[in-house]
Each structure stands twice: as C-alpha cells, then as structure tokens.
Structure 1
Amino acid sequence: MVSYKIGELKIRTIRQKAEKALGTRFDIRAFHDQVLKDGPMPLANFENKLDSWIKSQQTIAKKN
C-alpha cells in the first residue's frame, strides 16, 4: 500500500512539472498514455522517461 501511494505522489509531481513546462499545450491524454505505456518500472527510470517526454513535447511546441 505504501508503494502505491508513493507512485501516486510521484505521478502528481511529474504531472505538475509537465503542466508548468507545457502550459496550454499540456495534453492529459498524451501524459496518461506515457504513464501507462511501458508498464511498471523503478521510479527513477519513470521520472527520467517522463522528463524526456516533457522535453520532446517542448521541442514539438517550438517547431509549431
């Protein structure tokens, strides 16, 4: 039960980071797809994966 809560808190933190970084371009559906895409993994890997996704979304936004 503790690991579930820690994961929930980490996802919320990363979501807030993504919302702040992407502003109006933040897409909750795309974010959730990334959260679920690769299944379970260590939190450090998960955070790195989502940080990379945020950067890629920023790059896409700059091109448009």
Structure 2
Amino acid sequence: MVAYVHWTGRIDFALQATDLTENPAVGVLANPVYGVNSSLGLPGALDLAGDLLALALEKVRSDI
C-alpha cells in the first residue's frame, strides 16, 4: 500500500521527508513505512494528496 486514509480525513503516504521538498502542509511521521501525512481539510489538499500519491506510486515502481 502506498497510502493509508484515516476516517479523520488524514492520509499517510509511503514516503519519507527526504523524498520531498519541505512543505508546511505535509506532516512528518516517525514511521518507517508511512513517513509523511497530509490532511484533506486544508485548502488545496486534494491536489497535494494527488501529487503525493503519484510520487509514492513512482517510488514503488522504481523499487520493483
């Protein structure tokens, strides 16, 4: 899985902070698999979630 959607509207992504440029709308988690998250309640969050999902999928493809 590349993303985990919480019932609260938060999405954890199978990325690490080192995979991204710094963004205040992206939280950093201390999880070895799901290292960053974002909330769908923020302005522009759906676009950001789509970008993070595409990046996570690209990372999986490159690891295969």
Question: Is the pair's TM-score, using the shorter chain for normalization, greater than 0.5?
Answer: no
Give the structure-1-normalised TM-score.
0.43
Report which of the two structures shows the higher radius of gyration computed on alpha carbons: 1
The one of the two structures with greater contact order (alpha-carbon pairs below 8 A, sep at least 6) is: 1
Higher strand proportion (structure 1 or 2) = 2
TM-score w.r.t. length of structure 2: 0.43
